[in-house]
């Protein structure tokens, strides 16, 4: 405690990039090292910058944490920051079931043991022609799926968000058919660009951004990157997804960034960076959000105007 009674934060004495992931600290430390949390060596929290990172300047932490879509807390983009502090994220487990060799409940602490975390700076898009550049910290989804043992019949991965209306006030209303559901084709899920994020900007994932574990699929619109994941199911058939069920005319299963396909209510040909002046020039939206070289091959032979 300092003289004014405020708690001393780890970030006051340790660089943010070294303390962002408390769970990995606990997993890496034993005995006296755990007791001396602030003195742990940097290697206990080692992570690296991925080669998939964009060279674009990231948005500010304030932009990233105060302008969010997370309907479990309300429909206003300020509601997640306003209410998400109520969410309990520790302990946390993810149920992995379906066509896997080792189904079961996977505690997040166990998932993170030995998992190579990387900083990946992606351009991240929502569906209203705006974008951010976010420095996520995470690991490939493929690493976790391989640990569970994907069986030959699996073709898709279905995801579900936590349902806890006592802590997530938006779920007290029939805004959507809870739980929030998303899905990927298996080859999309196993692609090295697809990560499970545990933090951003060198710190543990803020609740409003999907703590403690969220999906990040940077070539798709933001709503595909489901937050606060509690279940993954490996399945044979294409799973139902929330926004496709809600309004299939506007939202398809694939939801790839494609400037050649307009949303029924707005053009997607250009975008504006969140935080930029309203008078700033809009910039052209890039196919697959700028990752065409990496992912276009996944959709060879598909009509991306029909299979949107």
Residue whose tokens read 């307009």: 262
Identify whether 282 is part of a domain: yes
Average pLDDT over residues 134-142: 97
pTM of the model: 0.86
Q: Which residues pair with 97 in a beta bridge?
A: 233
Output the six-digit token pair for 92. 């946390």
Same domain, yes or no, for 19 and 114?
A: no
- pLDDT for res 35: 31
The rounded mean pLDDT for the chain is: 86
Same-domain pairing of 24 and 107: no
Indicate whether 37 pLDDT > 80.
no
Kindly compute the dihedral angle of the four CA atoms of residues 278, 65, 200, 193, in this order, to the nearest 10 degrees.
-60
Residues 24 and 104 in one domain: no
Shared domain check, 95 and 133: yes
Q: Are residue 15 and residue 128 in the same domain, yes or no?
A: no
Q: pLDDT per residue over 189-204, tens digit each?
A: 999 999 999 999 988 9
Domain that holds residue 122: 48-299
Compute the average pLDDT of residues 140-151.
98
Which residues share a beta bridge with 100?
Answer: 150
Assigned token pair, 8? 């001393």
Let me know whether 27 and 82 are in one domain: no
Note whether residue 4 is domain-resident. no
DSSP SS3 for 11: helix
Judgement on whether residues 86 and 23 belong to the same structural domain of the protein: no
CATH code of 211's domain? 3.90.420.10
At 74, the pLDDT band (50, 70, 90 cuts) reads very high
Distance separating alpha carbons of residues 167 and 284, to the nearest angstrom = 39
Whether residue 103 has pLDDT greater than 90: yes
30: pLDDT strictly greater than 50: no
**248-298 pLDDT, tens per residue?**
999 999 999 999 988 888 888 999 999 887 778 889 999 999 999 999 999
- pLDDT of 15 strictly over 60: no
Q: How many independent structural domains does the chain possess?
A: 2
Q: Strand ranges (DSSP E) for 41-117?
A: 48-49, 93-98, 104-107
Encode pLDDT of 167-179 as tens digits. 999 999 999 999 9
Q: Which residue, chain included where needed, has tokens 């043992």?
A: 149
């Amino acid at each position: 405690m300092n003289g004014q009674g405020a708690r001393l934060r780890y970030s006051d004495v340790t660089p943010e990039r070294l303390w962002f992931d408390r769970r990995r600290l606990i997993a890496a430390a034993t005995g006296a090292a755990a007791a001396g949390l602030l003195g742990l060596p940097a290697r206990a929290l080692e992570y690296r910058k991925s080669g998939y990172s964009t060279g674009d300047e990231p948005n500010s932490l304030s932009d990233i944490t105060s302008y969010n879509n997370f309907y479990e807390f309300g429909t206003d983009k300020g509601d997640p920051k306003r209410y998400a502090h109520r969410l309990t994220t520790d302990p946390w487990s993810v149920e992995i079931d379906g066509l896997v060799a080792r189904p079961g409940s996977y505690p997040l602490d166990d998932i993170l043991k030995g998992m190579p975390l990387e900083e990946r700076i992606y351009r991240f898009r929502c569906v209203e022609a705006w974008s951010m550049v976010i420095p996520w910290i995470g690991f490939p989804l493929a690493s976790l799926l391989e640990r569970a043992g994907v069986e030959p019949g699996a073709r898709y991965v279905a995801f579900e968000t936590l349902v806890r209306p006592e802590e997530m006030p938006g779920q007290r209303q029939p805004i959507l058919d809870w739980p929030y559901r998303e899905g990927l084709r298996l080859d999309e899920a196993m692609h090295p660009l697809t990560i499970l994020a545990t933090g951003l900007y060198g710190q543990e994932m803020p609740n409003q951004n999907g703590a403690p574990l969220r999906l990040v699929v940077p070539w798709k619109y933001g709503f595909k990157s489901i937050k606060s994941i509690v279940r993954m199911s490996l399945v044979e058939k294409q799973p139902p997804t929330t926004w496709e069920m809600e309004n299939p005319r506007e939202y398809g299963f694939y939801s790839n960034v494609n400037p050649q396909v307009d949303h029924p209510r707005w053009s997607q040909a250009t975008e504006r960076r969140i935080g930029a002046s309203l008078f700033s020039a809009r910039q052209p939206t890039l196919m697959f959000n700028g990752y065409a070289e990496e992912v276009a091959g996944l959709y060879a032979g598909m009509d991306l105007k029909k299979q949107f």
